[in-house]
Amino acid sequence: MPLEANEKIWMDGKLVPWDEAKVHVLTHSLHYGSGVFEGIRAYPTKKGPAIFRLTEHVARLYRSAKIYTIEIPYTAETLIDACKETVRASGLPECYVRPLVYLGYGEMGLNPLPCPVNVSIAVWPWGAYLGDEGMQHGVRMKISSWRRHDPNIIPPAAKGTGQYINSQLAKVEAIRGGYDEAIMLNPQGFVAEASGENIFIARDGELLTPPLSAGALIGITRDSVIRIARDLGVNVHEADLVRTDLYTADEVFVCGTAAEITPVREIDDRVVGEPGPLTKKIQEVFHSAVRGEVERYAGWLEYVS
Ligand code: PPE
């Protein structure tokens, strides 16, 4: 998605003009992938833009930082307010929000401990992550030949910037192969997640998703889907899945902040089909919930003003 200059970017306490939001080429994180980040969405509601589960995203940012021994030099409250402020300043009715904690300029060499810790928050408009066509009719996925990293190699529980080179290997392989997105197996061969989404399958009216121990990120959309499904009376189980469970599922969808709920219509050239009833129902409830149209989920929205 090509970016267009927007209003302002929050950098260490100040809103700076978009074109001036720059870092030095000797920024530690640029060399060693030593940052943590979040992806959040703000949606339009009757009461103006609201950021979806903002406090939980910021809490995950701190957990990611803790895993990497990065001390964020701001309180969570400051970053929550900064996200709201940046959305407000953009004037955008809906947008993607990207807080980034990175190790800055001043020290080189692997040891991250002496590095300054910087924080930025940018927002931009972001449409259907896997395309409008995919959102409506489902995407075509490929099981990657690249494995998701093991928790004792690179922890999937953290959203670390450098971890995403693993996702990028898988993504490029899928795109070059003519697919929309990659599914990643863990080192044991069980399904972990997609390159940037969690995954669910429907079988006999129930939903199954890999457990976090299989190497999936603790997805906030995943959690929202589980809540919505259970509130609809649908059983949801965490279960280790193998690739053939995906091929033979009644329905498959992936979910994430950027991808929202995206149906999957094909995996490794096996047809799963057009979006099924469970996928469509959950998509519909999620779509309404994020826009403040479902009373039961009102607590998920944090208004920017
Ligand atoms: N797994 C991975 C690996 C992942 O990156 C994401 C989000 C998820 C699961 C879903 O998590 P959640 O957003 O909390 O439901 N991926 C982000 C990055 C997308 C990007 O291209 O950048 C996102 O959706 O914001």
Structure confidence at residue 64 (pLDDT): 98
The total number of structural domains that make up the chain: 2
Last residue of a domain, one of 77, 93, 124: 124
Inform me whether the pLDDT recorded for 77 exceeds 80.
Answer: yes
| pLDDT per residue as tens digits for the range 230-282 | 999 999 999 999 999 999 999 999 999 999 999 999 999 999 999 999 999 99
Inform me whether the pLDDT recorded for 81 exceeds 80.
Answer: yes
**301 within some domain:** no
Indicate if ligand 1 lies below 6 Å from the C-beta of 143: no
Structure confidence at residue 5 (pLDDT): 79
Confidence of residue 7 (pLDDT cuts 50, 70, 90): confident
Indicate if ligand 1 lies below 6 Å from the C-beta of 100: no
Indicate if ligand 1 lies below 6 Å from the C-beta of 180: no
If one compares 95 and 2, the residue with the highest pLDDT of the two is 95
Indicate if ligand 1 lies below 6 Å from the C-beta of 38: no
**296 within some domain:** no
Indicate whether 108 and 251 sit together in one domain. no
Indicate whether 43 and 141 sit together in one domain. no
Q: Which residues pair with 193 in a beta bridge?
A: 184
pTM: 0.97
Confidence of residue 1 (pLDDT cuts 50, 70, 90): confident
CA distance linking residue 295 with residue 187, whole number of Å: 42
**What is the CA(260)–ligand 1 centre distance, in A?**
9
Indicate whether 179 and 217 sit together in one domain. yes
State the Cα angle at 174 between 169 and 175, rounded to 5°: 100
Structure confidence at residue 46 (pLDDT): 97
Top mutation candidate among 52, 181, 257 for ligand 1, by most atoms within 8 Å of CB: 257
- In which domain, by residue range, is 282 found? 132-289
Q: What is the mean pLDDT of residues 126-153?
A: 95
Structure confidence at residue 144 (pLDDT): 98
State the Cα angle at 32 between 29 and 34, rounded to 5°: 50
Indicate whether 164 and 264 sit together in one domain. yes
Indicate whether 267 and 169 sit together in one domain. yes
**What is the CA(187)–ligand 1 centre distance, in A?**
20
Return the active site residues. Answer: 159
* CATH number of domain containing 189: 3.20.10.10
CA distance linking residue 266 with residue 202, whole number of Å: 14
For atom 21 of ligand 1, the residue with the nearest CA is: 196
Indicate whether 163 and 109 sit together in one domain. no
Structure confidence at residue 215 (pLDDT): 96
Structure confidence at residue 4 (pLDDT): 80
**92 within some domain:** yes
Record the tokens describing residue 161, joined without a space.
């910037």
Mean pLDDT (the chain, rounded): 97
Q: What is the mean pLDDT of residues 39-57?
A: 98
**299 within some domain:** no
Residue 196 near residue 169 (C-beta atoms within 8 A): no
Structure confidence at residue 229 (pLDDT): 98
* CATH number of domain containing 114: 3.30.470.10
Size of the chain in residues:
305
Q: What is the mean pLDDT of residues 16-20?
A: 96
